[in-house]
Amino acid sequence: MDFFKRLFQKTPDQGAIDIGSSHVKLAVVEKKKSGPAELLYFAVAPTPPMTIKDGSILDAQTLGDTIAGLLRANNIQSQKFKLLSAVSGQQVVIRPIPMTKMKPEEVKQAIRFEAERYLPYPVADAYVTGEIISPDIGDGRQMEVLLIAVPNEILEAAREVIKMSDVEPAGIDLEPLALQRALRLFLSEEQYNGTVVLVNCGASFSSINIFSAGRLKHNRTISVAGNSFTKAIGQSLNVSFDEAEKIKKEKGVIKVDGGAEDVAPTTQKIFNLVEPVLKDFVTEVQRSIDYYRSRNKDESIDLVVLSGGTAAFKNIESYLSKEFGVECVVADPFSNLNLSKVKGMTSSELRELAPASMVVLGLALQ
């Protein structure tokens, strides 16, 4: 029965892929005219070793094979199927800059000249664009433009991986914009329109994004992320990376000062190992918040949302709430999706992967 249903079910034409350094995530979502969007396919595979290093793709063929494997396992074999992916990292520059007032259609040309002083690479080697985010910064002469720059090399590498998986690229999006779309899935209208700090803490990198009134206003990538915690455990206990990863996920709990719970000695020991990394993480996020507040004095931070696999670290949201003095929640993008069509995973298994699925779901919603 299931087989026939699958056979006659039309494969949708577009899906999304998030190629992380630790996991590759695939999602296909169908938007509905009314009611929640439906998640049709969702799959995750570990990223093969030595294929991505420091944010750069080293082995497009092996990554492409991994994606092709996920598509085959889910019976997605349509000739027309296309995949949308995202780029991110320290080389992707997204920042508000002041520019002399001009028409929106003139911005795209003029920004290439402006961009030079903000980019660590030549403008000629990058895709550069800009979008007016506020028509007047208050002096009557200048406006605020969101500068976006992605090195051509990064775009080409992203396209190459998709081609190696034997499907066509549907396009390339920016990770912060995908994250923003995914926020819509679980924040209230009021929360979404406030000032929200979204920290996507993956394995190699964390991106800090500040949205105000539904617009991206700040983006920064830092290297304190999941691997930093794993390395701290591995080095102190003198165990392999894989062993340390297992200890972190199974025994790691973040202790909150003043919390009532007495923790087991092993838990306390692991907490002591990860605490310095956690402190670095807090310092970096706080630095972004302070920078943003210094430029937007009339705004306060309403909410901190934590996503990425590291958001599953037990208690991390309570720790961060206390440190930042702001409500902090773990992203739950599956909460308002219809999950009944997804095969091979129970909804509780899916919910466990929720924070790590923000990017791929945001892409799939495009």
Ligand X SMILES: Nc1ncnc2c1ncn2[C@@H]1O[C@H](COP(=O)(O)OP(=O)(O)OP(=O)(O)O)[C@@H](O)[C@H]1O
Q: Which of 115, 225, 328, 360 binds ligand X (CB under 6 A)?
A: 225
E runs forming strands in the chain: 14-19, 23-30, 38-46, 52-53, 56-57, 82-87, 93-100, 126-134, 142-151, 168-174, 195-201, 206-212, 215-222, 303-307, 328-330
Which of the choices Mg ion, ligand X, none does residue 221 contact, using the CB cut-off of 5 to 8 A by kind?
none
Helices 316-324 & 265-295, crossing angle to 10 degrees? 40
CA–centroid distance for 123 within its chain: 25
Do residues 146 and 130 touch, judged by C-beta distance below 8 A?
Answer: yes
* Chain centroid offset of residue 179 CA: 6
Judged by beta carbon distances under 5 to 8 A according to partner kind, the member of ligand X, Mg ion, none in contact with residue 288 is none
Q: Which is nearer to ligand X, 76 or 277 (CB)?
A: 277
The values of phi and psi at residue 30, to 5°, are: -115, 120
Reading the block at residue 270, the tokens are 């692991």
Contact with ligand X (CB under 6 A): which of 249, 251, 293, 322? 249
Residue 217 contact among Mg ion, ligand X, none, beta carbon within 5 to 8 Å by kind: none
Q: Does 313 bind ligand X (CB under 6 A)?
A: yes
Residue 168 bridge partners (DSSP)? 82
Q: Which of 171, 167, 170 is nearest to 79 (CA)?
A: 167
Does 252 engage in binding with ligand X (CB under 6 A)?
yes
Which of 288/310 has CB closer to Mg ion? 310
Contact residues toward Mg ion (CB under 5 A) are 20, 202
Give the 3-state secondary structure of residue 185: coil
Q: What CA–CA distance (Å, rounded) separates 67 from 45?
A: 8
What angle separates helix 241-251 from helix 265-295, to the nearest 10 degrees?
90
CB of 104 to ligand X, least distance (A): 32
81 makes contact with ligand X (CB under 6 A): no
Interface pick for ligand X out of 15, 64, 176, 308 (rule CB under 6 A):
308
Picked from ligand X, Mg ion, none, the partner binding residue 310 (CB below 5 to 8 A depending on kind) is: ligand X
Binds ligand X by CB under 6 A, chosen from 11, 66, 204, 221: 204
CB 53 within 8 A of CB 63: no
Closest CA to 307 of 18, 70, 77: 18
Nearer to Mg ion, 114 or 245 (CB): 245
Nearest approach in angstroms of CB 352 to Mg ion is 16
Name the segment binding ligand X (CB under 6 A); options: 69-77, 145-153, 185-193, 241-249.
241-249
Q: Identify residues 143-202 at the interface with ligand X (CB under 6 A).
A: 202
Strands 82-87 and 14-19: parallel
Partner that binds at residue 249, options Mg ion, ligand X, none, CB closer than 5 to 8 Å by kind: ligand X
Work out whether 301 is an interface residue with ligand X (CB under 6 A): no
Q: Which does 91 bind (CB under 5 to 8 A by kind): ligand X, Mg ion, none?
A: none
Q: Does residue 63 belong to the site contacting ligand X (CB under 6 A)?
A: no
Q: Which parts of this chain interact with ligand X (CB under 6 A)?
A: 20-23, 202-205, 225-227, 230, 245, 248-249, 252, 308-310, 312-313, 356
